[in-house]
Amino acid sequence: MHKEADIRTPLILGEKTYHQITEEVCAPVEGKANKYWYAVFGLALVLGMWGLGCITYTIGTGIGTWGLNTTVGWAWDITNFVWWVGIGHAGTLISAVLLLFRQRWRMAINRAAEAMTIFAVMMAALFPGIHMGRIWMAYWVLPLPNTWGSLWVNFNSPLLWDVFAISTYFSVSLVFWYIGLIPDFATIRDRAVKPVVKQVYSILAFGWTGDVKAWVRFEEVSLVLAGLATPLVFSVHSIVSMDFATSVIPGWHTTIFPPYFVAGAVFSGFAMVNTLLIITRKVLNLETYITIKHVELMNVVIIITGSMVGVAYLSELFISWYSGVEYEGYAFFNRVTGEYWWSYWAMMTCNVITPQLFWFEKIRTNLITAFLLSIVVNIGMWFERFVIIVTSLHRDYIPGNWSMFHPTFVDIGIFLGTIGLFFVLFLLFSRFFPVIALNELKTILKVSGEGYKKQYKAKAAVSSDDTANVA
């Protein structure tokens, strides 16, 4: 048996047995939801219904209900789209990249992160759809034969690249998430008492037997999917960034966008995982599995990616000056000191200055500060997208075209509605699916469980005493 160094913090607290892990991880699925779950679910459902009402109103009336104007043709819709796609990045990174690197700390957080990815991409997909105005013709973005009544789409358009990148990303992430759930569905199936529940989970488990051949195939498929998903982490947000980088708008056409957007996506994604898991561990009584060590490691990733984003911001400012291009220089000068200066400095404060607080161990390992700072990071990332889009558009080459963007109640309602729908989906997921990868977690119990670490330490102490006595 491989023995870890004692200096490593246990990833499973308490003297757990395999049976205890099964009981505690399955408890939220098999038992009744507590009052906190119902309170949050009710609030999210109300918010989501309001958002759906605003979406219905937009489709019925037209996107003139938004605060768009001739100058600012993109605003909250594309801002929210890019923000949600960014949040969806951490799930695939945690699942795929950490699996390939054999990082054991992913076991407790990958399931919730994968679910977050699925739901975040669904929320992102709403915005291009309703921005079309005639959402019933959304199928026109697909490369269908001309006999369907539409011409083939323009494959040179970055907006079409979005369709392919995000649909591929969503498909692979969904399959990866579902494959990981199959053994856990089988566990719930075998424990179920009610016939209907047993039948439903039997269908979901796809006849999982749990024998050696099944586990070998499970491992092989997981590695293949991780290998496919890893390039998607970098490709999807790179392609989203090309919506801007391939244009000729000052402030957009810059080659730094792809790596800068990817770093920002991982940054915001890990912040959202932290936000969700700090709540989940408390509400579902999973503190012994989602530990402070998990939160700390995610905060370390936030420090690294936040620093990369900060370097990108400063690089943009430097290049806009060094290029000597008058329009480029003005675009960034206007961002910093213009009408929307407050959004720029909110972005800089939230994304560059605030994450540096995680260098201090007391802040990095404090759940309250980690929770608050994770929310601050996602607020900052929303402002980043707002700054890139609105401040680059609201001042045109011709002063007569200059215009300010002011969101309407529909803009705000749709955005808040997607947040509500996201939490509705995540809460339903936590109610019917195991939030933690149950069977994968068991594989690290003997090397990362606190009880086993104590046993190893005691045996090592006895062994050293015996050696000393012999000597």
Range of lowest pLDDT (146-155, 186-195, 359-368): 146-155
Residue 164 · residue 123 · CB < 8 Å = no
Mean pLDDT is lowest, of 22-26, 123-127, 310-314, for 22-26
Top pLDDT among 445 and 61 is at 61
Range with top average pLDDT, 130-144, 362-376, 447-461: 362-376
Give the three-class secondary structure for 88: coil
Q: What is the pLDDT of residues 250-297, one digit of tens each?
A: 888 888 899 888 899 889 989 999 999 898 888 888 888 888 988 999
pLDDT at 1: 47
| Six-digit token string for 439 | 């069977």
Mean pLDDT of 391-413: 88
Strands (E), 224-305: none
**25, 291, 294, 362 from 13: Cα distances, Å:** 14, 8, 12, 20
Q: How confident is the model at residue 352 (pLDDT cuts 50, 70, 90)?
A: very high
Residue 162 has pLDDT above 90, yes or no: no
Task: List own/partner pairs for 18-22 with CB under 8 A and 24 or more apart.
Answer: 18/442, 18/445, 21/289, 21/438, 21/441, 21/442, 21/445, 22/187, 22/191, 22/438
Tell me the per-residue pLDDT of 10-61, one tens digit each, with 9 for 90 and over: 878 888 788 888 888 888 888 887 888 888 899 999 999 999 999 999 988 8
First to last CA, the chain: 27
Of 293-302, 308-317, 377-386, 445-454, least confident by mean pLDDT is 445-454
Mind listing the pLDDT tens digit for each residue in 90-108? 788 888 888 888 888 888 8
Average pLDDT over residues 396-415: 89
Model pTM above 0.85: yes
For the cut 60, the answer to whether the pLDDT of residue 334 exceeds it is yes
Structure tokens at 143: 């490369």
The pLDDT of residue 338 is above 70: yes
Q: Which of 22-26, 171-175, 345-349, 466-470 has the lowest mean pLDDT?
A: 466-470
Residue 176 is encoded by which pair of tokens?
């990866």
pLDDT of res. 285: 84
Tokens of 305: 């990616």
Query: For position 397, what pLDDT does the model report?
Result: 82
Mean pLDDT (whole number) for 437-448: 83
What mean pLDDT comes out for the span 331-355?
92
Per-domain residue ranges of the chain: 18-448
* Per-residue pLDDT at 444: 82
464 — pLDDT class (breaks 50, 70, 90):
low
| Burial of 366 (C-beta count, 10 Å sphere; 0-12/13-18/19+) | middle
Secondary-structure class of domain 18-448 per CATH: mainly alpha
At residue 199, φ and ψ (nearest 5 deg) are -65, -45
Answer yes or no: is pLDDT of 467 > 80.
no
**Rg of the Cα atoms in the chain:** 24
Alpha helices in 349-408 (DSSP H): 361-364, 367-393
Token pair of 331, please? 């675009």
CA separation for the pair 111, 178 (Å, rounded): 10
What's 401's DSSP letter?
G
pLDDT for the residue 7: 60
> For the chain, what is the mean pLDDT?
86
- The pLDDT of residue 9 is 80
The residue among 1, 110, 99, 102 whose CA lies nearest residue 447 is 1
Which of the four pLDDT bands, split at 50, 70 and 90, describes residue 470? low
